[in-house]
Amino acid sequence: MTLTLGFSPCPNDTFIFDALIHHKIDTEGLAFDVSYQDVETLNQQAFQGKLDITKLSYHAFAYAVDDYELLDAGSALGFGVGPLLITKDAEVARRLQAALASGQALDETQKALKIGIPGKYTTANFLLGLAFPELANKIELVFSDIESSLIAGTIDLGLIIHENRFTYQEKGLHKIVDLGDFWERTTGYPIPLGGIVVKRSLGQELKLKINALIRESVRFAFAHPKSAIDYIRSHAQEMEEAVMYKHIELYVNAYSEDLGTDGRKAIGQMFDRAIASGVIPAIRNNLFLTDR
């Protein structure tokens, strides 16, 4: 049986799924037709129900929850892994940092700043809305284009994710705030970034098998961290190996193997806050795949 599977070409995802899609583990008769897309494209495909299994941002999951449920395996949660809000202008960075620290309202010039975001439904954009609700002049860009747009001056602020958090300083850009750190300080929970969901319409036995296989793929990756190096590099061609593994260490951890109680609580906290603030609609369905 072949199932459609979508995830990003970023090192954390290729690291997680290498053993599964290349049959380094026993996939028990399942094969996978893989689609590599950036996270916002995956979000949009989930809204259309295109894939049997897909990575998506937790923000987007709120709008796809009628069709999908969340697996315990494959997620990206953790401490110190959040998106960064950055700028080319050090004085802009200083003034926005001061406003956030003091809780003061932004002035009209600050409100007008143009922000490049990696997608409306990304968790990064959700966190930006919690920290700076007045920053609404947003333009959606592919995440890998945000740094270059800042340097070119076509945007004033950039919301960066993935490997860009390791490279922005080399390009003379300045951090305003680590939105993951902002989340952690205000909630005490790890930040939920992206999860793996499966179509509700698939049979329960099949969904549980998929969850178990992804968990086994993560375990294989942890046990054989260099096994996937050629595959990871083929989808991260401009990235040095040291940066690839920094990326993996940051986003792949125990929560990727199994959300556990703390991971589920963190996700529940995110959805509760988003619903209370009107960022997402109320949720009617159970979020999590259950073996009950």
Distances (CA, A) of 217 to 14, 22, 103, 181, 240: 11, 10, 44, 29, 24
What phi and psi, each to the nearest 5 degrees, are found at residue 148? -65, -30
The single-letter DSSP state of residue 281 is P
| Pair 179, 83: CB distance under 8 Å | yes
Is 226 one of the annotated binding-site residues? Answer: no
Identified catalytic residue from 22, 23, 162, 235 = 162
| Residue 169: partners with Cβ closer than 8 Å, 6 or more residues away | 175
Is 149 one of the annotated binding-site residues? Answer: no
Give the burial class of 211: count Cβ atoms within 10 A of its Cβ; 0-12 exposed, 13-18 middle, 19 or more buried: buried
Token pair 């968990």 in the structure block, residue? 215
| Pair 184, 37: CB distance under 8 Å | no
| Residue 204: partners with Cβ closer than 8 Å, 6 or more residues away | none
Alpha helices by DSSP H, listed for the chain, are 11-21, 39-47, 58-64, 90-102, 108-111, 123-131, 146-152, 179-187, 204-223, 229-234, 241-251, 254-257, 260-276
Is 96 one of the annotated binding-site residues? Answer: no
Instruction: Write the DSSP string, 74-114.
Output: S-EEESS---EEEES-HHHHHHHHHHHHHTPPPPHHHHT--
Is 144 one of the annotated binding-site residues? Answer: no
Residue 224 designated active-site: no
The single-letter DSSP state of residue 288 is B
Is 123 one of the annotated binding-site residues? Answer: yes
Annotated binding site: 55-57, 123-124
Annotated binding site for substrate: 55-57, 123-124
Catalytic center residues: 162
